[in-house]
Amino acid sequence: MQLQQLKNNQVDTVLLALDECYRRLEKAEVSAKELTQAGFTLMFKSAYESLARQKH
């Protein structure tokens, strides 16, 4: 995902999704280093989609 290609509201959602990913990792007591790239991608997509639905 290229940040320059996103609209302002999408940038906000990306930042909130990253914050949500961090919150989920903290709650699960898992470090980011323990995730595979595929695992992080799945978690990020879940967080982003959840936040995007809330905004509409």
The DSSP code for 56 is -
Number of domains in the chain: 1
Structural domain includes residue 27: yes
Domain that holds residue 46: 7-55
Decide if 9 contacts 1 (C-beta within 8 A).
no
Phi and psi of 24, rounded to 5°?
-65, -40
Structural domain includes residue 1: no
- Give the pLDDT confidence score for residue 37 in this predicted structure: 94
Structural domain includes residue 2: no
- Give the pLDDT confidence score for residue 7 in this predicted structure: 82
Whether the full predicted model's pTM is greater than 0.85, yes or no, is: no
Q: What are 4-55's pLDDT values in tens digits?
A: 677 878 888 999 999 999 999 999 999 989 999 999 999 999 999 999 898 7
- Give the pLDDT confidence score for residue 55 in this predicted structure: 73
Band (56; pLDDT cuts 50, 70, 90): low
